[in-house]
Amino acid sequence: MSRRKHSPVRTRLASVALAISLAGGIMVGDFAPRRVGAQTTIAANNKISDDLRQKASGPNSGDRVSVIIQPSGSWGTSIDSDVKYNGGTVTKTFRNFNARTVNISAKAAAALAARADVKFISLDREVDSLGHVSTTTGAEAVRKQTTTTLLGGTQTTTLDGTGVGIAVLDSGIAAGHVDFLDRSNGLRVVVSRDFTGENRTDDPYGHGTHVASIAAGNGRISNAAYVGIAPNAKIVNLRVLNSQGRGTASGLLAAIDWILSNRTAYNIRVANMSIGMAAIESYKNDPVCKAVRSLVDAGVVVTAAAGNNGKDGSGQKVYGQIHSPGNEPSALTVGASNSFGTDARGDDHVTTYSSRGPTRSYSTDAYGVKHYDNLIKPEIVAPGNKLIYAQAPGNLIVTQNPQLDAQVSPVDSREMMYMNGTSMSAPVAAGAAALLFQANPKLTPNMVKVLLMYTAQPLAGYNMFEQGAGQLNIEGAVRVAKLVRTDLLSSLLSPLLGSSLLTTSTPPSPQTSLAGHTFSWSRGIIINQTYATGTDLITKYQKVYGLGVLLGDGVLLGDGVLLGDATKMSGGVLLGDAVRTSAGVLLGDGIVFVKTGVLLGDGVLLGDGVLLGDGVLLGDGTLLGDGVLLGDFTLQAQSAAIEGDSSATMPLHVDSGVDYLGY
């Protein structure tokens, strides 16, 4: 059942929400340098992340930590003085973000939150890697594009990401690998930067090379058996994970800062983040999430891995383990599907290890009550199980796990390796976004998200927390993208709500056929804690498609009732009232998994022993961990990346050593 109504109490609800926000967010603090104390730490509890709070109140509160401080206004000299007075030092500043990284004792860091000019302080957390595709996703189906010229003739072009820059924020790239050459033997890795402090941009760990190859590897090896989604895109190598596969939030922020300053020079339209860290504080306070939002607002699609924590140590299904920055609503968060090595999609499943929503990052109000974000994530899933792509020579992952060497070639610059995980799924979506931008450069990030969700294939038997709108379908998304008007955003005036979005009055047929298998599009999108359906999503311009807004800005929630904002979305967009387990046809079909109202419970209705529709227990502090990742997170994620689901792999094709140039 779907419903949409406009409420006269919307303004009143917003005012109440604002009042509550102000009550919980404003703290009184002096601006003069002062010594730390227990009272100031307690008073500012709602302005520091939970993990920092635990360190500051523990027996080792005097230990030095690296934190990220976000001021409520501009960074003033008074904050600098207070940091210095309490033995701290500013270690990193950012050109495009109003935040700084500070090295200081945990106790002193927590005390700084009592200042009125400090908005939020969080730990500089560790960032981890998460560990036939072009045919099954539909990339090959759109590779050759035929258009009609002004004189009535035809012209054939190749949709391969040409001219589009994809930033890969990962462990570096082995730029000498054959996979990263263009058709003229030029290097497509157009720039490399290191943000780990190791002063190198190659890939001793091995994760980033594989990820970049999925998004944009060429088809020279094994007759294009392992061609990437956008094989002629420009690659921007931003190394944020060190030789052990570890990084920091501040290093990731520095890389995002660099993109914001250099995106125009390299036409960076897509940034892939196959990385993850604990999603503790709400996306509204998480500095990495806020940085991602800045990228999206600037016109860059950010694809983020959902995480590999979909099951616990005993193999039981768990929910609520979406990582940061995948918990950021503006990001395109991608889960992992399993193609079972076949091009046809009738047997595809969501992998057991792919992290499920809802997002469990939270804010804490002045009374100590946690308010969970509870967003439906991921938005889509894409193939990520046992994929074969480029291997960096001598990398640590294969050294420690030699079974991952695919034995495709004895030549280092042509070798391939297996990997599994949402880390592999995210660059599939990144490559797809690059193809959409090549097909229609006027698209916005929100439009790209809508097209990828609207044309996705719902997989039967999986709920929205597991697959979002469904499995990526590049053929359908490109078909619609080519029909989207290019003059809508060319004017200085914002397009009118409900304006015609397409160049045709007849919407495209909502089915796709790949490898002899025909499937229906979802014809809907995931937004916030619900979903929306209706042909208006692709036939009429919605205000939420612009820059500087979220797709969910058109949805308001009050007392479990969904309200549509008539200034953001047209009347033909219908909002759902439940999270559903799909019947495999349309978004919103199938049986109710959990009602939307349950998602408003701030951990009361969604946890504490309440069972969801399939009998899976969501226990706050047990499986979800109240925003704190389980103790075996790193081990579990690595296990998923190495082992994957038991199934057939991508077909293995030994390389002849002769470059294939027909890709």
Active-site annotation holder among 423, 522, 570, 582: 423
Give the pair of three-digit tokens for residue 119: 């908005």
Give the pair of three-digit tokens for residue 641: 């990346």
CA atoms within 13 A on the CB side of 506: 2
Separation of alpha carbons 361 and 370, rounded Å = 9
Cβ atoms < 10 Å from Cβ of 627: 25
Q: Would you say 361 and 372 are in contact if contact means Cβ atoms under 8 Å apart?
A: yes
Q: Would you say 562 and 550 are in contact if contact means Cβ atoms under 8 Å apart?
A: no
Does the annotation mark 207 as catalytic?
yes
Which residues pair with residue 380 across a beta bridge? 334
Separation of alpha carbons 113 and 120, rounded Å = 7
User: What's phi and psi for 77, nearest 5 deg?
Assistant: -65, -25
Separation of alpha carbons 356 and 321, rounded Å = 6
Cβ atoms < 10 Å from Cβ of 487: 9
Separation of alpha carbons 254 and 248, rounded Å = 10
Give the pair of three-digit tokens for residue 357: 């929503």
User: What's phi and psi for 547, nearest 5 deg?
Assistant: -85, 150
Omega into 510 within 30° of 0, i.e. cis? no
If DSSP codes are grouped into helix, strand and coil, which group holds residue 416?
Answer: strand
| Nearest one of 313, 240, 329 to 277, comparing CA atoms | 240
Q: Would you say 112 and 121 are in contact if contact means Cβ atoms under 8 Å apart?
A: yes
Separation of alpha carbons 364 and 371, rounded Å = 6
Dihedral angle at the C-alpha atoms of 364, 366, 367, 370, nearest 10 degrees?
A: -10
Active-site annotation holder among 51, 128, 160, 170: 170
Rg over alpha carbons for the chain, rounded to the nearest Å, is: 24
Separation of alpha carbons 474 and 87, rounded Å = 53
CA atoms within 13 A on the CB side of 100: 21
| Beta strands in 306-412, from DSSP E residues, in sequence order | 332-338, 349-350, 362-364, 370-372, 380-383, 387-390
| Nearest one of 445, 441, 471, 442 to 456, comparing CA atoms | 471
Separation of alpha carbons 188 and 191, rounded Å = 9
Give the pair of three-digit tokens for residue 354: 């792919």
Residue given tokens 């970049």 in the structure block: 212
Which amino acid is residue 275, in one-letter code?
Answer: I
Active-site annotation holder among 132, 207, 210, 349: 207
- The continuous run of DSSP H or E covering 389 comes out as strand 387-390
DSSP for residue 543: G
| Beta strands in 541-590, from DSSP E residues, in sequence order | 555-558, 561-564, 574-576, 578-581
Which positions ≥6 away from 307 have C-beta within 8 Å?
130, 276, 321, 322, 323, 326, 354, 355, 422, 637
Q: What is each CA distance from 310 to 376, 385, 636, in whole angstroms?
A: 15, 14, 10
| Nearest one of 161, 127, 151, 131 to 250, comparing CA atoms | 127
Give the residue numbers marked as catalytic. 170, 207, 423
